[in-house]
Structure 1
Amino acid sequence: MNWSVRPESFGTPDATRLRRAYYDEVASRYWGRPATAAEIDEGLAGDPPDHLVRPTGEFVVGRYGGEAASCGGLRVLDAGTAELTRVYVSPAARGTGGGGALLAALEEAARRLGARRLVLDTRLDLVEARGLYAKHGFQEIPAYGEKGPYSEIWYGKELTAPART
């Protein structure tokens, strides 16, 4: 099976299902118990898509064998920097190359938006995400922007120009 990753509206049924799964996983890990539907709804309500659309960003959904199984967002911070956010691969699809396909699509979107550098923040307990970022060339950087309770480690990556064919 192959992965395909394409821009998709933040509010499609597939994008919404994936964002709910993302919030469920990160909130459940944070609280050390299953997140409630109300907690997931609250997280989604506080996560408007305003900056995840062109020209200030992009949201993508990855499909594995035709099934929506990953998502991620990108928002422009300044003229040369974009931030990754809401990066998620469903547990059933992990280890199939979906994380790499998702990051490659987000990096290409960042280049199209003029970014030369990607940054992100995450939590220490999200070990799968941290491993994915390290595997794909992200390195730990000093904190940027406002620190929040869910930001414990920051990563950055310089983007190279796309290969000419």
Structure 2
Amino acid sequence: MTRHAPEPTVVHVPVSHPLVRPLLRELGDEYSRRYGKDAHAEISRYPDEEFTAARGGVLLLLLERGAPVAGGAFRRYDATTAELKRIWTHSAHRRRGLARRVVAELEDEARARGYRRVRLTTGPRQPEARGLYLAAGYAPLFDTEADPETLGLLPFEKLLPAPDQQRKAARP
């Protein structure tokens, strides 16, 4: 009999919460390996307050047995747009669809807060992220045929249906 991991629990936490530290540490380490420079400063480029409800943002984690396995955040970009940041899956838990779940949870939260569009950027050395966003219905705002290294950051956006449109689409 195979034991499956329990369904992850979604929690909203401040950036300062101790469970966020492993997320940011591993993410910074991975960015540093991929891009060849210390990326930890980039991880903390935005003030923690930008990821709080009071400022139009959120940071959420997926927890299994109380430990973070994935997470991500958004911040207010403008009055109708949320910007996804720091989508992450712990290296021991990849290839389980957790990042897609994080993106979906963030989209739902953004929609509930009145945002109608989501934008994000990812780096040229993150093909997994590029694939995730394309599979999740994000429109690339760059030439997908170009060498990503020549483009720098890869921007994406997605329009969110209004809550009433989403309910109609979900009906059989």
Give the TM-score, by structure 2 length: 0.79
Q: Which residue of 2 aligns with 1:145?
A: none
- Once the two structures are superposed, residues 84-140 of structure 1 have per-residue CA deviations (whole angstroms, 9 ceiling, x without a partner) of 001111121111120111011100111122111100011111111111111111110
Q: Which residue of 2 aligns with 1:27?
A: 32
1:70, distance to aligned residue in structure 2 (A):
1.2
Contact 2:71–2:99 (CA under 8 A) maintained in structure 1: no
Give the TM-score, by structure 1 length: 0.82
Give the SS at the match of 2:49: coil
What is the RMSD computed on CA atoms of the aligned residues?
2.2
1:8, distance to aligned residue in structure 2 (A):
1.2
Any unmatched runs of 5+ in structure 2? 143-150
1:48 and 2:50 equivalent? no
Give the structure, 1 or 2, with the largest relative contact order (CA under 8 Å, sep 6 or more). Answer: 1
Same amino acid, percent of matched pairs: 30
1:71, distance to aligned residue in structure 2 (A):
1.5
Amino acid at match of 2:35: Y
Contact 1:18–1:71 (CA under 8 A) maintained in structure 2: yes
| Alpha-carbon distance between aligned partners in 1 of 2:82 and 2:35, rounded to the nearest angstrom | 26
Give the SS at the match of 1:128: helix
More helix as a share of residues: 2
Shift in alpha-carbon separation, 1:80–1:91, aligned structure 2, 3 A: same
| Alpha-carbon distance between aligned partners in 2 of 1:11 and 1:151, rounded to the nearest angstrom | 30
1:29, distance to aligned residue in structure 2 (A):
0.6
1:46, distance to aligned residue in structure 2 (A):
3.6
Amino acid at match of 1:25: E
- Once the two structures are superposed, residues 47-66 of structure 1 have per-residue CA deviations (whole angstroms, 9 ceiling, x without a partner) of 42121001321111112454
Amino acid at match of 1:4: T
